Structure 1
Amino acid sequence: MAGNSQRRGAMRKDGTKKGMVVGSGGQRRKQLQGKGPTPPKEERPNHPAARRAKLAERSAANRGRSGGGANRRRAGDGETPETVLGRNPVVECLRAGVPATALQVAIGTTTDERVREAVSLAADMGISILEVAKTDLDKMSGGALHQGLALQVPPYAYAHPDELLEIAGDSGDPALIVALDGVTDPRNLGAVVRSVGAFGGHGVVVPQRRAAGMTAVAWRTSAGTAARVPVARATNLTRTLQEYASAGLMIAGLAADGDVTLDEFELATDPVVVVIGSEGKGLGRLVKQTCDVTVSIPMAGPVESLNASVAAGVVLAEISRQRRARLR
């Protein structure tokens, strides 16, 4: 049929038929499709309003998770992964069993015993071993000395304070929990965790703000005990102590001007929470008011106070001794 553009070899003259012509975007299934109306700014991926909306949605979800009791283990509570730099620190963390995710070794690093041990330990623990350019490690460390080794440590998964009560109940022994008030040195926290594990404690509670967290330094100081002793984070330490008191635990705070001395502490064999303040400021006012009793450590020398971790070790050792004596 003359003028039929669908027939092979046919010629179509301009103006002979209505409708789309070749070059206008195609016909039927081959025709171009419009993108439709412009979406709102909150739905455009790269628009600032979309980023703000996404951030608000994520914050609301985090608040919802923290308010529920189903998932009590909170991985880091918003903290970011940590990088341990240097050969000795990396080897010490691996020896302590810190749950690292990756060991990064700079290409061309001079191999010595520490590097070989780090690689061997990481391989035995199933940790990824990555070779990276030295310049990348320099950028990652921000100019700090890394000696060709970096260990990626994920945020610590804190327990809920109520979990410590459950652990104590399942153990069959009187509850023994240590709460730290204002202790900001992660080495002190790690040492306290180690003492709690050594003397039969059921866990450690730390405030969520203005306090040391379970960093890689704390892990290393605990010598791996943090893998067995849970550390809980309390949004409000005073309220948590009040909840422990309502559950039947006695709250005993360490203070230089305590009501009783440690050798007179008769509550050692009962379910108890030992509250330890910072070496400089001691217990906070509200926390001290929450305590049922304050205990002092008798000093034989001119020293006025002990480091928080040392004080914890002394008190926990005495409590453990009294509990063993009661069982005889």
Structure 2
Amino acid sequence: MQENQKNEWENKEHTLVIEGRNAVLEAFRSGKPIDKVFVLDGCQDGPIRTIIREAKKHDTILNFVGKDRLSQLSETGKHQGVIAYAAAYEYAEIEDMFKKAEEKGEDPFLILLDNIEDPHNLGAIIRTANLAGAHGVIIPKRRAVGLTATVAKTSAGALNYTPVAKVTNLAKTMEELKERGLWFVCADMGGESMYRLNLTGPIGLVIGNEGEGVGRLVKEKCDFVASIPMKGEIDSLNASVAAGVLAYEIVRQRMK
């Protein structure tokens, strides 16, 4: 993808592009979820330093870029050295997911995504999560798509009902969830057939990146590795399809 095309895609992906020092600072102070901030490299005046401090405090991704790059990203031409991308939807807390499970009288069922980059895949997985009765979806803050307009559209409304949380470190989050009784199964071609695994109880289903699968550190935290039987000539499934197949095997086992 050419740079200009990529910039256009990035702008369209985010329903809210915030430009200008006061506007970006006010967005942070109002609690609006900010996914990324682009700052003019070398700019060190007071307002910019304050914005950088706010971004670090909220663990927002910071990109220091040149003047030409900012001009390409700008929609108004009045960016004043800073542009922010805000999430299309509010992120939830993991605690919200446990409350949802408790209200339904069910064992927690969470779907964790290790660096899903395609917004259509993320939207489709959120839609599947809702239909399969999962209590929430957890995504990492970095190297992954956030809750963009395309994700919201692809989820077909599921984003209004299924909580999505964003965490700094997926492997560490899994450790914390294990202390709360969850165990984890990840999808990988080299694993045991999903039909031979016991997928009942409090569970976290881990789906990996479209190209590389589940990362090593995250995989090490999983209790089981499940494979989906393949009968055709190709040997892999789209990430959202794999999530759907495994999620519904969990549903099937829970119904028993």
Question: Is TM > 0.5 for Structure 1 vs Structure 2?
Answer: yes
Give the match for residue 281 of structure 1. Answer: 212
Give the match for residue 54 of structure 1. Answer: 47
Q: Is the 8 A contact 1:253 1:295 kept in 2?
A: yes
Query: Alignment partner for residue 314 of structure 1, among 223, 234, 245?
Result: 245
State the Cα deviation string for residues 212-268 of structure 1 (Å, max 9, x = none). 11111111111111110111101111111111111110011111001x2111120x2
Report matched runs for 1:5-44 at 5 Å: none
Paired letter, 2:197: F
Change in 2 beyond 3 A, CA 1:78/1:155: farther
Change in 2 beyond 3 A, CA 1:61/1:223: same
CA–CA distance in structure 1, aligned partners of residues 165 and 242 of structure 2: 20
Tell me: higher relative CO, structure 1 or 2? Use CA pairs within 8 A at least 6 residues apart.
2
Q: Is the 8 A contact 1:207 1:233 kept in 2?
A: yes
CA–CA distance in structure 2, aligned partners of residues 170 and 59 of structure 1: 40
- Which ranges of structure 2 fall in alignment gaps of 5 or more residues? 1-42, 63-73, 78-85
Give the match for residue 199 of structure 1. Answer: 132
Displacement of 1:165 in angstroms is: 2.6
Between structures 1 and 2, the one with greater strand share: 2
CA–CA distance in structure 1, aligned partners of residues 133 and 87 of structure 2: 27
- Which ranges of structure 1 fall in alignment gaps of 5 or more residues? 1-49, 68-76, 80-138, 143-152
Structure with max Cα Rg = 1
CA–CA distance in structure 1, aligned partners of residues 51 and 95 of structure 2: 26
Q: Number of matched residues? A: 196
Displacement of 1:205 in angstroms is: 0.7
Give the match for residue 196 of structure 2. Answer: 264
Displacement of 1:140 in angstroms is: 4.6
Q: Is the 8 A contact 2:108 2:203 kept in 1?
A: yes
Give the match for residue 114 of structure 2. Answer: 181
State the Cα deviation string for residues 35-93 of structure 1 (Å, max 9, x = none). xxxxxxxxxxxxxxx972233334444555x48xxxxxxxxx679xxxxxxxxxxxxxx
CA–CA distance in structure 2, aligned partners of residues 141 and 324 of structure 1: 54
1:170 corresponds to 2:103: yes
CA–CA distance in structure 2, aligned partners of residues 154 and 200 of structure 1: 24
State the Cα deviation string for residues 281-310 of structure 1 (Å, max 9, x = none). 111010011111111111122221100000
Displacement of 1:161 in angstroms is: 2.8
Q: Is the 8 A contact 1:164 1:202 kept in 2?
A: yes
State the Cα deviation string for residues 164-220 of structure 1 (Å, max 9, x = none). 233223321011111111210000000000000001001111110100111111111
What TM-score do you get using the length of structure 2 for normalisation? 0.69
Give the match for residue 252 of structure 1. Answer: 185
CA–CA distance in structure 1, aligned partners of residues 87 and 141 of structure 2: 18
Paired letter, 1:168: A
Query: Alignment partner for residue 239 of structure 1, among 155, 167, 172?
Result: 172
What TM-score do you get using the length of structure 1 for normalisation? 0.55
Query: Alignment partner for residue 293 of structure 1, among 216, 219, 224?
Result: 224
CA–CA distance in structure 2, aligned partners of residues 253 and 204 of structure 1: 14
Change in 2 beyond 3 A, CA 1:218/1:257: same
CA–CA distance in structure 1, aligned partners of residues 87 and 224 of structure 2: 38
CA–CA distance in structure 2, aligned partners of residues 291 and 210 of structure 1: 21
Give the match for residue 255 of structure 2. Answer: 324
CA–CA distance in structure 2, aligned partners of residues 51 and 280 of structure 1: 39
CA–CA distance in structure 2, aligned partners of residues 240 and 160 of structure 1: 12
Give the match for residue 209 of structure 1. Answer: 142
CA–CA distance in structure 2, aligned partners of residues 159 and 180 of structure 1: 15
Paired letter, 2:239: A
Q: Is the 8 A contact 2:87 2:146 kept in 1?
A: no
Change in 2 beyond 3 A, CA 1:159/1:301: same
Q: Is the 8 A contact 1:176 1:203 kept in 2?
A: yes
CA–CA distance in structure 2, aligned partners of residues 168 and 56 of structure 1: 42
SS in 2 for 1:275: strand
Give 4+ residue runs of structure 1 displaced > 4 Å after superposition.
61-64, 139-142
CA–CA distance in structure 2, aligned partners of residues 55 and 155 of structure 1: 24
Q: Is the 8 A contact 1:161 1:240 kept in 2?
A: no
CA–CA distance in structure 2, aligned partners of residues 291 and 154 of structure 1: 29
